[in-house]
Structure 1
């Protein structure tokens, strides 16, 4: 058994690079705000905003995101007694301290698990009904995400993209409002004015957040890196000795029809899928 080295995987670094256009748009927006608020110190607000990136890496933020974004809760005493020894075994195999990671549980009827931030490993209540050895393999996969830096990079990218995404959201909401008012008035003149205002708003949004023009290219590439990250986490689990057990879990999911929706999906949906198919994961684990 080979213990994986703890370093950022290429899929995490590529995701970081793909986020650069959006982050630059966010920087432009923060700079424009700074120009209005602090015209004598244009550098201050952008610098302070970049510094806030350190905040999202704090352990407290991991716990907060686990609750708000994923509806994860602390395990009960019984759940902790079942999960903690499994995580201890996985961390022992990886050569890391289990105290660095916090177990969380999601109330769900679907078998699911996730890595959040830099410290949280979550499983669904349905996943806890897996045989202990299979659940341990699932935990090894999630630890693989932490060891490769996937979750930290995703969190940083999400944080630095927020200003740009917020502007686009405001533009969409405003545009829909203008369109609704134009339709409600109902006159040809009102409709023409509403369309003109929406076009002006869209042009202004592109000027402030030019990254939106790259979305058709960036979105599929980000999805591709996400799929590569999943395959790498499988590889880490296999290197820790959990390959055969992870195969059992994936084969069980195939029998339950997990790949059926993907097979029926169109090309665009498959390109934007964040996870590879179970069949592809099985093939990679088998070395084919």
Structure 2
């Protein structure tokens, strides 16, 4: 009998998930993005501990965003320097200054009579007349040493006055006596437009004159000989062009009125007499020191000798030498009058307000000089004597400003 194996119960087989099949390598389709990128914050997010913000990278970005830089913290040893405002332009280059004028080139109407000899110039020549006569006597005495050529020497001296209007002589005079120089190209570019405006208003040919510069830090100008107009470096660089024009118009007034050439001509013809006076003065001082060696007798003899010579000279020349004693005061009075006439000339050209401002600056300059003299005098004020006022060649500030008042007042319409 065959033994049958035991029968076991049948259980259902467990179901397991099918293993994932590996995908074949191949091109993948690009991900789909929206047509408009979503809005992101303008500033990149910051993270703790980071020294600089990190910008996230986006696939649709056209350009990498600029990461702002953090300025370095200043060290205690190097404090941050404060920023300074730009310096204001000097008055000479400030077009907004109230005394700035337009110097653009324009048509010029030249006057028929560009020069004349006014009463001040004639008075200047008359005042120099005694000095001229004394110089003529001195030249005559010196020419006697040349024998028959004495007349020729005198005539040559009389004709030498024409050198005042000789351009090379004027240039030598400007360099040697007035310490002037020719302007540089930069300086010429600054003063020539101003001079052109001044001469255009006056109807004068400006090319007939020569512009010079004095290396000085004071406010001043000069008109000399027949064609010299000089200004200081301070006036050229520190004054507005309107005030510089007023100064140059003042000097042009000296030329137009004949003050410059008459003053120089009188000085030239008085020069031999001045030289003879200095020689006699030096000789008198020498004789006086020698006479002191002989005591009172020597001094008395010296006084009698000098007194006799002076009396003989005065009686021989009909008292002419006595007029020479008053010459410095007369020349100073004529010079003050010439300054007022030159001020009127500048004011008539429309520069009265500018000239008044220049006079105020000159007044302030004089006050600073007086303060410096007072400090050197130990604090005691230095008073100007009456004789020194009479010898002044320029009027005081208040007198000049008073004569400018008619040009400073507004004109009433008719």
User: TM-score, length-normalised on structure 1?
Assistant: 0.88
Matched, 1:277 2:386: no
User: 1 CA distance for matches of 2:320 and 2:181?
Assistant: 36
Task: Quote the residue 1:53 is aligned against.
Answer: 161
Report SS of the residue matched to 2:116: coil
Task: Quote the residue 1:149 is aligned against.
Answer: 258
Task: Quote the residue 1:264 is aligned against.
Answer: 383
| Pairs aligned (count) | 284
Judging changes above 3 Å, is the alpha-carbon distance between structure 1 residues 67 and 76 closer, same or farther for their aligned structure 2 residues? same
154, 178, 194: which one pairs with 1:86? 194
Q: Is the 8 A contact 2:250 2:343 kept in 1?
A: yes
Deviation per CA, 1:55-74: give whole Å up to 9, x if none: 22212221111111111111
User: 2 CA distance for matches of 1:216 and 1:259?
Assistant: 33
143, 146, 152: which one pairs with 1:44? 152
Report SS of the residue matched to 2:186: helix
Q: CA deviation at 1:102?
A: 1.1
Deviation per CA, 1:199-219: give whole Å up to 9, x if none: 455557656896441133332
* Structure number having the greater helix percentage: 1
Matched, 1:13 2:116: no
Unaligned runs of 5+ in 1: none
Task: Quote the residue 2:82 is aligned against.
Answer: none
Q: Is the 8 A contact 2:130 2:324 kept in 1?
A: no
Matched, 1:232 2:351: no
Task: Quote the residue 2:274 is aligned against.
Answer: 165
User: 2 CA distance for matches of 1:75 and 1:174?
Assistant: 44
Task: Quote the residue 2:327 is aligned against.
Answer: 218
Q: Is the 8 A contact 1:25 1:208 kept in 2?
A: no
Q: Tell me: higher relative CO, structure 1 or 2? Use CA pairs within 8 A at least 6 residues apart.
A: 1
- Cα RMSD for the two superposed structures: 2.7
Judging changes above 3 Å, is the alpha-carbon distance between structure 1 residues 144 and 3 closer, same or farther for their aligned structure 2 residues? farther
Report SS of the residue matched to 1:72: coil
95, 111, 128: which one pairs with 2:203? 95
Deviation per CA, 1:104-132: give whole Å up to 9, x if none: 11111211101011111111112121112
Equivalence map 1:66-215=2 (5 Å): 66-128=174-236, 129-183=238-292, 185=293, 187-199=295-307, 202=310, 211-215=320-324
Unaligned runs of 5+ in 2: 1-110, 371-381, 408-414
Q: Is the 8 A contact 1:258 1:278 kept in 2?
A: no
Judging changes above 3 Å, is the alpha-carbon distance between structure 1 residues 204 and 69 closer, same or farther for their aligned structure 2 residues? farther
Task: Quote the residue 2:47 is aligned against.
Answer: none
Deviation per CA, 1:1-33: give whole Å up to 9, x if none: x99962111111001011111111111222233
